[in-house]
A and B are shown apart, each in its own frame.
Chain A
Amino acid sequence: MNFKDLPPIKEQLMKCVRCGKCRSVCPVFAEVKNETAAPRGHVFIVQMLRDDKVEPDHKVYEKLSACLLCENCTVNCPSGIDIHELNAAARAYIYEKNPSLGKELVFDTLWTSPGLLKTSTMLMGGVQKLGLQKLARNIGLTKILPGDLSKAEKMLDSVPSRSARSQLPEVNKAKGEKKYTVGYFLGCGTDLLNPEVALATVNVLTLNGCEVIIPRESKCCGLPHIANGKLETARRLAAHNIKIFNSYEFDYFITDCASCSSALSRKNMEFLFKGLKIEDTAYAFAEKVMDLTVFLVDVLKIEMDGDNLSEKRRVTYHDPCHLANAQGIKSQPRELLQRIPGIELVEMKNANTCCGGSGTYSVTHYDMSMKILDKKMDNAMETGADMIATCCPSCMMQLRYGTQRHKWNCRVIHPVQLINDFYLHKPAKTAGE
């Protein structure tokens, strides 16, 4: 669809009253402090793009891509503008006009940096399927400073050697009486960077009466592509995933990754497909998508009764932007943590402020990402927690790096891992018992 015909561009741009409310909630603006980094500034420049008052060139792309797409501005905008969608749409428009934007990066910089390439490609999704050559064409990263790259590479030391997919069968039978058949949308980040989360998810779900199927043909959710100006690719990936998941008889499509569930949500489907033929199918698909924490609390209503341990482990929770801002999911992850015996939840200040990871952002904008991370770590460390829990592989990677950076001995985990730990020590009552 033409940039100027996209619903947010057509309907929302004119709604901005430039009140500046969004200035007060943007983590990037808080660092840069001038209007060129303000969400309001992004909205303005997108309008200028629409009106052909600025060239869709790399300079504008650079400004727009300084944004994390954390959606904090969007949820706080009194005029109801999806500021991040305007931004993403504009990136795609500029990219479309300047196909060379991304290649430059891939061929000149990424190729010379094997560790980085590995992780970047992993994050870009589905390297195994696409192959590097094709993938390179698909990546539309902004121009990266080589300085950033060498620093960013440190983040990638601990990429696990075995993916989750290689460890999990396609069909995982329910233990005990079967209640639901769920399609597990195993995202690239969980699969490649946090396979232990996937193992825990499958174990916890099967123990609670779910047959868990991991469709082999599913692909990346497309979120990294949206962030990097590849809207068309994101549409293709979403359409593919819809087709694959719809070909099974699933009660729910579950994912443990905040980014994936937001990419598959109704809101994002509207962004990708509103006005297109596939629209209704996409919305029907999105109806069945559910974040793991919501599924465990609201549908499975899991309870874990255990001994009231006197010595509790302190856990602080970091809200992934794609859960808290994009989907308004804040209570269920906390509720889950509080239900685990022996866990004490301690809130950190600004728990729902971005950690600066934001998918590929920590690689493309290393210095800014670190400034934002350092603030997050200060707040997390202040709680004196033993663990940071969060529901997004990108946040987990970033926070883990944060703990190393601050020499803080603290585990970074997904809540489902703690539930799994609990079951390992005290087998769950399987359904029907």
Chain B
Amino acid sequence: MEKAIIGKELVKILGKEKVLVDELDLMYYSYDSSFLTKLEPSNPFAVAMPTSTEEVQQVVRFAWENNINIVPRGAGTGETGGCIAVNGGIVLDLSTWDEIVEIDARNMQVIVRPGVIHANLNDELAKYNLFFPPDPGSSKMCTIGGMVANNASGLRAVKYWATEPYVLGLEVVMPNGDVIITGGMKSRAIKNVSGINLTKFMVGSEGVLGIITRIRLRCFPKPRARGIAMAVFDCLDDAPATVLDVYQAGVLPSGIEILDSSAITAVNEFKPEINLPAAEAILLFEVDGNPPSVDFEGEIIQQIAKKRARSVEWATEEKRMTELWEGRSVTATAAARVRPDGSRIFAGEDISVPLSRVADTLRAIRALGDKYGIKVVNYGHIGDGNVHTAPVINPENPDEVEKVLKMVDEIHLLAIEMGGTTTGEHGVGAVRRPYAEAEHGKAVEYMRKAKEAFDPKGIMNPGKVF
């Protein structure tokens, strides 16, 4: 179907305020945070911005009847090209649909539409002494819909895990326009093992199975106290060893983050007031809970860390904690600061390996950096083995681009080799598809079959995941 006609039909359904068809407007939907789309932006045929289940349903029916691809999109902070119409199609921008439908404090849950921003949700929940624990570095910009679709997690995954355990039920518009509710039509139960668990099946499905239009999330009581221990190491191996010792001592921090020497430089360049000491590695342990337990666990962590660390700082003052924690969360982009004429790229950025292999992995990545002559900043959620690698290159230099793509390929293969995965939290999208067979073998065939059962015409976000 011609683009102009698609646009006209969409306007008939949604009205012209909720549709973009102008070529210029469409260009703004050609990228997300991935390096892939920085190299190869790709315009959709049209953008639709529905704000009700019925509107989504009508757009999807129209697409189904006319065999047009549908690509759901949240805030476009994904790092895999997941929300990009790589094979053309209609992008459904769900970020404008940002309503918190109900905070059901008595039942410890909240119901939202997909476009609600993670940080905004937690601001609202805080008024009820509740919180939704997963906390991606992109908290201030990413949508809950995007988090569910990617099964996002974040700095506190060590204790609170990813988005998945919190999703109690979903409303999903299926590729043919059917609307289903998972987790029980009327359910407000927290525990529920009735039926095949379609909720879990949808979480992390990256928009290839259906469009998530309503999300019922479990909330936790907000911890009353928090503390952060910063341990500074002169030897890289001491960092993971300390992490294991802390677990052995029976302490489960809410987050454990690592910054290597280049990441430390980057943070200091970006926010000099944070003033991290120069070192081979820095570990940040966050503990939360009730005040006595925070003090108690903080004390144990300090004792253990002091065995190997050059210095240990224990912060409970809000300002310092925010600085340290923010320092870590801005590393993702601040990495570029290590090279005046460089930019970090989001590629090969999210491998996850067994805890016992973290130090080996970090060393191997450094060696790859040396091999290709590329500066690499390493940081990440060491508490769960999720290593973030930020190659810093001039993305407009074709030589560097060629080299970095080779390096990234090696990093992905390294992850599988180490007994890990190519992606711990950001997802597969368009960029990690080539590793599906190597990682999952025959299981990929069954993933495909499942997809066919939901989407026999293959219109939902094609070109992603497998």
Cβ of A35 < 8 Å from any Cβ of B? Answer: yes
A-to-B contact residues, CB < 8 Å: 11, 14-21, 23-24, 33-36, 38, 41, 44-45, 48, 53-54, 59-60, 63, 77-80
Contact A17 to B345, CB < 8 A, known contacts A78-B270, A80-B336: yes
C-alpha spacing A24/B119, complex, angstroms? 10
User: Across the interface, do B332 and A34 meet the contact criterion of CB distance under 8 Å?
Assistant: no
User: Across the interface, do B344 and A17 meet the contact criterion of CB distance under 8 Å?
Assistant: yes
* 27 A-B pairs (CB sep. < 8 Å): A11-B341, A15-B336, A16-B343, A17-B38, A18-B32, A18-B33, A18-B76, A19-B33, A20-B138, A21-B140, A21-B141, A24-B141, A33-B95, A33-B96, A33-B98, A34-B47, A34-B49, A36-B20, A36-B28, A44-B28, A45-B28, A78-B330, A78-B334, A79-B336, A79-B343, A80-B336, A80-B337
C-alpha spacing A17/B333, complex, angstroms? 7
User: Across the interface, do A59 and B24 meet the contact criterion of CB distance under 8 Å?
Assistant: yes
User: Across the interface, do A23 and B141 meet the contact criterion of CB distance under 8 Å?
Assistant: yes
Output the least CB separation between A352 and chain B (Å): 16
Q: Which of A15, A20, A54 contacts B33 (CB 8 A)?
A: A20
Q: Which residue of A lies closest to B267 (CB)?
A: A78
Output the least CB separation between A252 and chain B (Å): 27
Q: Which of B77, B95, B333, B394 contacts A14 (CB 8 A)?
A: B394
C-alpha spacing A85/B20, complex, angstroms? 27
Q: Which residues of B contact A23 (CB under 8 A)?
A: 75, 141
C-alpha spacing A63/B22, complex, angstroms? 12
Contact with A along B109-136 (1 / 0, CB 8 A): 0000000010100000000000000000
User: Across the interface, do B138 and A19 meet the contact criterion of CB distance under 8 Å?
Assistant: yes
Q: Which of B27, B270, B345, B346 contacts A44 (CB 8 A)?
A: B27
What interface size band does chain B fall in?
Answer: 35 or more
A-facing residues in B163-203 (Cβ within 8 Å): none
User: Across the interface, do A78 and B333 meet the contact criterion of CB distance under 8 Å?
Assistant: yes
Cβ of B93 < 8 Å from any Cβ of A? Answer: yes
Contact with A along B325-364 (1 / 0, CB 8 A): 0000010111011000111111000000000000000000
Q: Which residues of A contact B160 (CB under 8 A)?
A: none
Q: Which residue of A lies closest to B91 (CB)?
A: A35
Pairs of residues from A and B, 6 with the lowest C-beta to C-beta distance, nearest first = A78-B333, A24-B140, A35-B28, A20-B141, A20-B77, A15-B343
Q: Which residues of B contact A59 (CB under 8 A)?
A: 22, 24
Q: Which residue of B lies closest to A25 (CB)?
A: B140
User: Across the interface, do B141 and A35 meet the contact criterion of CB distance under 8 Å?
Assistant: no
Cβ of B318 < 8 Å from any Cβ of A? Answer: no
Q: Which residues of B contact A16 (CB under 8 A)?
A: 343
Contact A20 to B336, CB < 8 A, known contacts A35-B28, A45-B28: no
Q: Which residue of B lies closest to A13 (CB)?
A: B396
Q: Which residues of A contact B32 (CB under 8 A)?
A: 18
Q: Which residues of B contact A24 (CB under 8 A)?
A: 117, 119, 140-141
User: Across the interface, do A38 and B332 meet the contact criterion of CB distance under 8 Å?
Assistant: no
C-alpha spacing A45/B22, complex, angstroms? 14
Q: Which residues of A contact B138 (CB under 8 A)?
A: 19-20
Q: Which residue of A lies closest to B397 (CB)?
A: A14
Q: Which of A11, A36, A48, A79 contacts B333 (CB 8 A)?
A: A79
User: Across the interface, do B33 and A63 meet the contact criterion of CB distance under 8 Å?
Assistant: no
C-alpha spacing A80/B340, complex, angstroms? 10
Q: Which residues of B contact A18 (CB under 8 A)?
A: 31-33, 37-38, 76
Q: Which of A14, A15, A17 contacts B346 (CB 8 A)?
A: A17
C-alpha spacing A16/B346, complex, angstroms? 11
Q: Which residues of B contact A19 (CB under 8 A)?
A: 33, 77, 138, 141, 332-333
Q: Which residues of B contact A34 (CB under 8 A)?
A: 20, 28, 47, 49, 93, 95-96
User: Across the interface, do A35 and B343 meet the contact criterion of CB distance under 8 Å?
Assistant: no
Q: Which residue of B lies closest to A78 (CB)?
A: B333
User: Across the interface, do B33 and A45 meet the contact criterion of CB distance under 8 Å?
Assistant: no
User: Across the interface, do A35 and B93 meet the contact criterion of CB distance under 8 Å?
Assistant: yes
C-alpha spacing A48/B27, complex, angstroms? 9
C-alpha spacing A79/B266, complex, angstroms? 10
Q: Which residues of B contact A21 (CB under 8 A)?
A: 140-141, 333
C-alpha spacing A77/B96, complex, angstroms? 23
C-alpha spacing A203/B156, complex, angstroms? 57
Cβ of B245 < 8 Å from any Cβ of A? Answer: no
A-facing residues in B14-67 (Cβ within 8 Å): 20, 22, 24-25, 27-29, 31-33, 37-38, 41, 47, 49
A-facing residues in B300-335 (Cβ within 8 Å): 330, 332-334
Cβ of B395 < 8 Å from any Cβ of A? Answer: yes
C-alpha spacing A17/B335, complex, angstroms? 11
Output the least CB separation between A174 and chain B (Å): 38
Q: Which residues of B contact A33 (CB under 8 A)?
A: 95-96, 98
Q: Which residues of A contact B341 (CB under 8 A)?
A: 11
Q: Which residues of A contact B24 (CB under 8 A)?
A: 45, 54, 59-60, 63
C-alpha spacing A24/B118, complex, angstroms? 11
C-alpha spacing A24/B333, complex, angstroms? 15
Contact A17 to B33, CB < 8 A, known contacts A24-B140, A78-B332, A80-B336: yes
Known: A17-B336, A19-B138. 12 other contacts (CB 8 A): A11-B341, A15-B342, A17-B345, A18-B37, A19-B77, A19-B332, A21-B141, A24-B141, A36-B28, A45-B28, A54-B27, A80-B336
C-alpha spacing A36/B19, complex, angstroms? 12
C-alpha spacing A247/B337, complex, angstroms? 40
Output the least CB separation between A103 and chain B (Å): 23
C-alpha spacing A45/B24, complex, angstroms? 9
C-alpha spacing A80/B267, complex, angstroms? 12
C-alpha spacing A59/B28, complex, angstroms? 14
Q: Which residue of A lies closest to B266 (CB)?
A: A78
